[in-house]
Chains A and B, each alone.
Chain A
Amino acid sequence: AQSVTQPDIHITVSEGASLELRCNYSYGATPYLFWYVQSPGQGLQLLLKYFSGDTLVQGIKGFEAEFKRSQSSFNLRKPSVHWSDAAEYFCAGLSGGSYIPTFGRGTSLIVHP
């Protein structure tokens, strides 16, 4: 069965520190992969997506993600976290020809001053 796993429920970092949020996928073939961010009381907003080509993807708000086929991972990174990055982050996968993305359970990012 297709699945997307975010192993970390909560991540706490200090402002200015680097960040890596993990996402692992299980699909028969390489899926399209997405990272979304949800600020408190808001809907989800796309940060970035991967569908082919360069395995390092740049997104909005200074985020990037690296697709690693050998590890079935699509981890989200940011070199220096700002307090405004505190939010819920969701990884999602979508196989070609499917209507329905599969979401991970989400990772809550807490930023300490």
Chain B
Amino acid sequence: NAGVTQTPKFRVLKTGQSMTLLCAQDMNHEYMYWYRQDPGMGLRLIHYSVGEGTTAKGEVPDGYNVSRLKKQNFLLGLESAAPSQTSVYFCASRVLRRGGHNEQFFGPGTRLTVL
């Protein structure tokens, strides 16, 4: 049981390049989330998904797109990377269970630098 995994762990991009970050979870969780973490800013939600085939915008969605074609995978895309997108990106998942008090499980993060 690997939990939540993220690929890649590190990446350096040039301004204008595109890339996709992959998040995978093997816990059969319904909910998945993408966050970015910047110094002094805490965690900010980019996009989230409440089930296969559904996505929704979070707090800071501009410049990012997402897809959830399979329940276990949640992809985060940057179509044209900008230096402001330099950050550490975390994926999380959460189970849908009656009561709603279920915690999130986080991946190890992807450190992205945009030059």
Contacts and interface: CB of A to CB of B under 8 A. Distances in A.
Contacts of B106: 36, 43-45
A94 interface: yes
A43 B40 CA distance: 16
B77 interface: no
B109 A42 contact: yes
A46 interface: yes
Give the residue among A34, A99, A105 with the most B Cβ atoms within 10 A. Answer: A99
Contact of B90 (A34, A44, A104): A44
A46 B103 contact: yes
Contacts, number: 51
B4 to A, nearest CB: 7
A42 B31 CA distance: 21
Interface stretch (B13-21, B41-49, B66-74): B41-49
Interface string A17-54: 00000000000000010101000011111100101100
Contacts of A113: none
A90 B41 CA distance: 12
Interface of A: 9, 32, 34, 36, 41-46, 49, 51-52, 90, 94, 96-101, 103-106
20 contacts: A9-B40, A34-B103, A41-B109, A42-B109, A43-B4, A43-B107, A43-B108, A44-B104, A46-B103, A46-B105, A51-B101, A96-B100, A97-B100, A99-B31, A99-B48, A100-B45, A101-B104, A103-B42, A103-B43, A105-B42
- State the 9 A-B residue pairs at the shortest beta-carbon distance, nearest first: A51-B101, A43-B106, A105-B42, A32-B101, A44-B106, A46-B103, A103-B43, A43-B108, A106-B42
Given A43-B107, A105-B41, 15 more contacts: A42-B108, A43-B4, A43-B108, A43-B109, A44-B92, A45-B106, A46-B105, A49-B101, A52-B101, A94-B101, A96-B100, A97-B100, A99-B31, A99-B50, A106-B43
